[in-house]
């Protein structure tokens, strides 16, 4: 046990070193971690490190998905819901069909059932890879929202394809009616279970005497409860975590205290960083295991199959995204859509951003070794190797070229510029605070020296912001319980204003959250002086 503990310490130190290299090279750290894992796999000490599917599905996946769902903007998710659902369900199935046909054509003795099994594994982009890399390369906000939403929702469709292809191979039978019914059950029940568990935890946050420490620990427990409960009934644990995470994220201002929001953000940021590091490093470390299990198929042929399937995956996704753009333009004549003319630029980048990740590899590893007690599962090692190649090509090649693609393909953002949004938000907060003090406390606030200073401070800020000049908040010390109480009331009023602004499309939710966090910090500073 002690030896295993120190092995993980070594891996964490390696992760930190590789991330520093990535920062120095200005590359997305998941790419450097995968390549670093490939290099480490040739070192005897690390050559036997393997990914256990249960470890990924039941330990790594719930918190990483929960954090991704927590970070995504529900407003943006709902705005692009039609695009997200079209890629999360129909296009995953279309891609699986194309992979099945192509693999059946190029790989000897590879039936359509095995092709669908491979398609179910590699067709959906990975939520962890997409979220991490897109944010690292500073992709357009709209693209990030759509890609994150799609990659969070596509597990259900790929899981159904995988399960029924596996069942067809083992039993030799396939029932389309049963498959369709199961698909809707897995999706609907997964979503409902996630929201149900979310409501339970919402009630605990809302009505029980929790502390900030209890609330932060509960955020770690929540995704596991959602995932395990859904999976125990054979529904989608991923969709349960995503739906429950989106629900609780939208209620964060009502459920968590200011202290929990501040501390929880810091704790989760570091936890997700370490978990992501392990996930991407483990992908690279699988090379010896995957090659050793290749068996009868030659390495050269297996690489060729993997590269062909990778090219097909990339081309298929780009064609689907471009087709979705044309479909959106056509449907805009009959229904209201978020963007009636998406053009070709965003869809092309969206198509290029389909990175696969550790979930695909874990799915391939979860294929049973034997069909029955004696017969080995056919083509298992080849499917595993092709999956590994697809992950490398999409994660490394597409991940490295994505910043260049974004730079070359001009993106016009129809929203207000972020700098302008910040000035507008700051001005509205300052103006609203002045009105709050004037209307609720009148001349009384001017007679109190501390509140008068606060009043003058907001007047100065408003004046500077009108001229688009940044003004840093001063660290005024408030004395007297009355002025501190009034200031806390005003901060709550600012939160109400920000929630109102968040309902408007012209303001980016991430910027709104930024100022919500600043208000939380300000409340922390004031309450610390009240103790």
Domain residue spans in the chain? Answer: 2-408, 418-530
On the 0-12 / 13-18 / 19+ scale of CB atoms within 10 A, 414 is exposed
Question: How confident is the model at residue 315, as a pLDDT?
Answer: 94
Question: How confident is the model at residue 467, as a pLDDT?
Answer: 63
CATH topology of domain 2-408: Na+/H+ antiporter like fold (1.20.1530)
Contact 264, 219 (CB under 8 A): yes
On the 0-12 / 13-18 / 19+ scale of CB atoms within 10 A, 465 is buried
For the record, the structure tokens of 275 come out as: 């978990």
**Model pLDDT for residues 272-313, shown as the tens digit of each residue:** 899 888 888 988 888 887 887 776 778 888 999 999 999 999
Q: How far apart are CA 34 and CA 280, in angstroms?
A: 5
Locus of tokens 């049973």: 368
Question: How confident is the model at residue 370, as a pLDDT?
Answer: 80
Q: Which residues of the chain have pLDDT under 50?
A: 469-481
| Number of DSSP helices (H) and strands (E) in the chain, helices first | 27, 0
Q: How far apart are CA 529 and CA 479, in angstroms?
A: 8
Q: How far apart are CA 408 and CA 26, in angstroms?
A: 18
**Burial state string for 227-248 with b = 16 or more CB within 10 A and e = fewer than 16:** bebbbeeebbbbbbbbbbbbbb
Counting every residue written for the chain, the total comes to 531
Compute the Cα dihedral for 441, 443, 449, 453 and give only its sign: positive
Q: How far apart are CA 477 and CA 93, in angstroms?
A: 60
What does the H/E/C string look like for 371-420?
CCCCCECCCHHHHHHHHHHHHHHHHHHHHHHHHHHHHHCCCCCCCCCHHH
**In 3D, which of 276, 273, 266, 264 has the Cα closest to residue 217?**
264
Torsion angles phi and psi, residue 151, rounded to 5: -70, -25
For the record, the structure tokens of 408 come out as: 């070359």
Q: How far apart are CA 254 and CA 247, in angstroms?
A: 12
What does the H/E/C string look like for 322-378?
HHHHHHHHHHCCCCCCCCCCCCCHHHHHHHHCCCCCHHHHHHHHCCCCECCCCCECC
Q: How far apart are CA 240 and CA 69, in angstroms?
A: 11
Q: How far apart are CA 283 and CA 46, in angstroms?
A: 12
Opening angle at CA 302, ends 300 and 304, nearest 5? 70
Is the pTM higher than 0.75? The answer reads yes
Contact 320, 353 (CB under 8 A): no
**In 3D, which of 243, 240, 223 has the Cα closest to residue 149?**
243
Question: How confident is the model at residue 459, as a pLDDT?
Answer: 75
Q: Which strand (E) or helix (H) includes residue 451? A: helix 449-466
């Amino acid at each position: 046990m002690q030896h295993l503990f120190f092995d993980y310490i070594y891996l964490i130190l390696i992760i930190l070193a590789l991330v520093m290299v990535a920062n120095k090279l200005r590359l997305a750290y998941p790419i450097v971690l995968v390549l670093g894992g490939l290099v480490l796999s040739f070192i005897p000490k690390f050559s036997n490190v393997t990914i256990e599917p249960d470890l990924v599905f039941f330990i790594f996946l719930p918190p990483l998905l929960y954090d991704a769902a927590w970070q995504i903007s529900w407003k943006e998710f709902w705005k692009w819901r039609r695009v997200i659902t079209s890629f999360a369900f129909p296009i995953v199935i279309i891609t699986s069909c194309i992979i099945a046909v192509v693999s059946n054509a190029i790989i000897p003795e590879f039936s359509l059932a095995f092709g669908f099994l491979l398609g179910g594994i590699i067709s959906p982009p990975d939520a962890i890879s997409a979220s991490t890399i897109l944010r690292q390369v500073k992709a357009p906000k709209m693209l990030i929202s759509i890609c994150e939403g799609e990659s969070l929702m596509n597990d259900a469709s790929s899981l159904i394809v995988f399960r029924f292809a596996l069942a067809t191979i083992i039993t030799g039978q396939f029932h389309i009616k049963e498959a369709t019914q199961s698909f809707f059950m897995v999706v609907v029940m997964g979503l409902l279970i996630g929201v149900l568990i979310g409501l339970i935890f919402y009630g605990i946050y809302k009505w029980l005497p929790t502390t900030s420490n209890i609330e932060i620990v509960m955020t770690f427990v929540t995704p596991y409860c959602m995932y395990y409960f859904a999976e125990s009934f054979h529904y989608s644990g991923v969709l349960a975590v995503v739906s429950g995470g989106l629900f609780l994220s939208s209620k964060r201002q009502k459920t968590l205290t200011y202290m929990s929001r501040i501390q929880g953000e810091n704790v989760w940021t570091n936890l997700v960083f370490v978990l992501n590091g392990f996930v991407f490093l483990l992908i690279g470390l699988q090379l010896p295991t995957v090659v050793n299990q290749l068996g009868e198929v030659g390495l050269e042929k297996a690489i060729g199959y993997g590269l062909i399937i990778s090219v097909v995956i990339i081309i298929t996704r780009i064609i689907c995204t471009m087709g979705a753009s044309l479909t959106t333009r056509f449907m805009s004549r009959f229904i209201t859509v978020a963007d009636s003319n998406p053009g070709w630029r965003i869809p092309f980048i969206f198509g290029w951003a389909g990175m696969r990740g550790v979930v695909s590899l874990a799915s391939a590893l979860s294929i049973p070794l034997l069909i029955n007690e004696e017969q080995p599962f056919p083509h298992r090692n080849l499917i595993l190797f092709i999956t590994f190649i697809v992950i490398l090509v999409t994660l490394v090649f597409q991940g490295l070229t994505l910043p260049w693609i974004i730079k070359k393909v001009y993106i016009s953002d129809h929203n207000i510029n972020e700098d302008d949004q910040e000035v507008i938000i700051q001005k509205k907060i300052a103006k609203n605070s002045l009105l709050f003090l004037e209307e609720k406390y009148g001349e009384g606030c001017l007679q109190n020296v501390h509140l008068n200073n606060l009043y003058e401070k907001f007047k100065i800020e408003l004046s500077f912001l009108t001229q688009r000049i940044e003004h840093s908040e001063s660290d005024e010390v408030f004395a007297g319980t009355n002025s501190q109480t009034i200031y806390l009331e005003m901060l709550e009023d600012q939160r109400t204003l920000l929630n109102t602004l968040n309902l408007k499309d012209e303001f980016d939710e991430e910027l709104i959250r930024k100022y919500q966090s600043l208000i939380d910090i300000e409340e922390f500073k004031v309450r610390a002086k009240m103790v």
